[in-house]
Amino acid sequence: MTQASARTRGGPEDDYDDPLMMPVSRTIDWSAVHRMSQAREPGGTIATIRRSAAIRRGTPLIKFLTADQLAGFLHGWLIGGFCYRVRDVAHLRTPAELAVLTGQRDAEVTYGVRWRAVDPLDYEVPLAHTHGGLVAMPSHDRIGPPVIGSGFAPAEQQIIPEFVTADLADLPVPAGASLVAHVPDGTEVVLYRYLPEQHSWVRMHGPQWRFLTGNLHFPGGGGPVPVYQEYFPVPAGATTYVGTHQGREFEAIVDPPTEFRVAAKFPAARFPVDTLGRRVPYATWREIRCTVVRVEKDWIRLRLCRPDAVQVTMAGAQCVERGLYEVWAPAAEVAVDEVTVSYRL
């Protein structure tokens, strides 16, 4: 593939969500709304404003990544943690402008993963009364900016609603998801696109953008990412989409907002599913509720569902990115139970 896939964000796809609504008046101006968005305990007007920013099926979302995290997706990482509606960050086009969210003040390129929401059940608003542990987390136990607890990102001038994946769990990558790069002229370059039937990322960028991936390295000392490789097969994740067709259960392919079908290599077997859900492996270890990130032999990688300073200390968990705390645990000590989150079709 030699032709670059590049574009600016925004456009018709934003019809799958509603804009943030702010009742600005003589008594409540932009500065007042911004001050309220940065308060720890939202209430009244700002709570109403925050509720206007909702995720629906098909809402375009984005999570910003470091170079190492981008390489991790090519190695099989899934979507989890803090994310934003594309609509709410469409005005931030360059790495310098996106630094308000990434903290990468001197970055020449900012990476991200884009996808469409499968269901609102997969997302939560990080409020003080639901994610108090993150809000109160000491600075030495966190990465990135603090979590305010208002549902908005901490920013000096911006008003940006933020979301987290439900229970901070990983989500399977849906069809059409893409790994992108934002460059100084405001262009968003599509680097790779996900093909769920093949469990692979396919290269979309041409030679003029190869410098954007030339310094990537796979996690765990896996070596450099080959810039000329077109397909990157990835293993199945710990969490999957499942559906039923005529009473039988299958792995499902989701292509929001409207296509949900049986996972099959041959098009003739890709029947639409009658029911759809997300199967998540939860775990309890040292009386702490977690989700399973991955399993390696006799060890399980766990992620805390509602991390706070006490749980982090008890588990010996490490902050791997903003809001996500993980730890390796002996499999023999972990009680795992699978939960299926059912969606309405």
Span 251-291, pLDDT tens digits? 999 999 999 999 988 888 899 999 999 999 999 999 999 99
Q: Can you give the residue range of the structural domain that contains 131?
A: 5-233
Are both 17 and 164 inside the same structural domain? Answer: yes
Please check whether residue 175 is in contact with residue 259, taking contact to mean a CB–CB distance below 8 angstroms.
yes
Distance CA 125, CA 82 (A): 10
pLDDT for residue 66: 95
- Spatial contact of 92 and 102, defined as CB atoms under 8 Å apart: no
**DSSP 3-state assignment of 139?**
helix
State the Cα–Cα distance between residues 109 and 91, nearest whole angstrom: 16
Contact between 172 and 78 under an 8 Å Cβ cutoff? The reply is yes
| Structure token digits, residue 286 | 């040292």
Measure the CA–CA gap between 71 and 232, rounded to whole angstroms.
Answer: 11
- Whether residues 266 and 335 fall in one domain: no
Is residue 247 domain-shared with residue 220, that is, in the same domain? no
Give me the pLDDT at residue 46, please: 87
Domain membership of residue 183 (yes or no) is: yes
Average pLDDT value for residue range 67-90: 97
Q: What tens digit of pLDDT does each residue of 197-245 get?
A: 999 999 999 999 999 999 899 998 889 999 999 999 999 999 999 999 9
pLDDT higher than threshold 70 for residue 2 = no
* Same domain membership, residue 190 and residue 94: yes
* Mean pLDDT in residue range 112-135: 97
Query: Is 11 a residue whose pLDDT tops 80?
Result: no
**How is residue 6 annotated by DSSP?**
E
Identify residue 6 by its one-letter amino acid code. A
What pLDDT was estimated at residue 20? 87
Q: Which distant-in-sequence residues (6+ apart) come within 8 Å of 32 by Cβ?
A: none
pLDDT in tens, 160-170: 999 999 999 99
Residue percentage of the chain with pLDDT more than 90: 80
pTM of the model: 0.92
How far is residue 116's CA from residue 256's CA, in Å, rounded to a whole number? Answer: 6
Boundary (domain end) residue, out of 213, 233, 253: 233
Specify the number of domains making up the chain: 3
> How confident is the model at residue 226, as a pLDDT?
93
Whether 345 is in a domain gets the answer no
SS3 314: helix
Q: What is the pLDDT of residue 273?
A: 97
**Both 190 and 216 in a single domain?**
yes
**pLDDT, averaged across the chain:** 92
Residue 253 phi, psi dihedral angles, 5° rounding: -105, 130
Contact between 20 and 53 (Cβ < 8 Å): yes
Let me know whether 284 and 271 are in one domain.
no
Half-sphere exposure for 188 (CA within 13 Å, toward CB): 21
For residues 254 and 171, membership in a common domain is answered with no
Same domain, 166 and 221: yes
CA distances, 267 to each of 168, 175, 241, 345 (Å): 34, 15, 18, 21
Residue with token string 């953008």: 209
Asked if residue 170 and residue 90 are part of one domain, the reply reads yes
The token duo for 226 is 């080959």
Q: Are 310 and 294 within one domain?
A: yes
Q: Is the dihedral of CA 104, 209, 12, 194 positive or negative?
A: negative
Helix (H) or strand (E) holding 134: helix 132-135
β-bridge partners, 289 = 284
pLDDT of 61 > 80? The answer is yes
| 22 and 54 together in one domain | yes
Same domain, yes or no: 34 and 166? yes
- Do the domain assignments include residue 35? yes
- Structural contact between residues 72 and 78, judged by C-beta atoms closer than 8 angstroms: no
Distance, CA of 254 to chain centre: 16
What pLDDT is attached to residue 10?
Answer: 44
- Amino acid identity, position 105: R
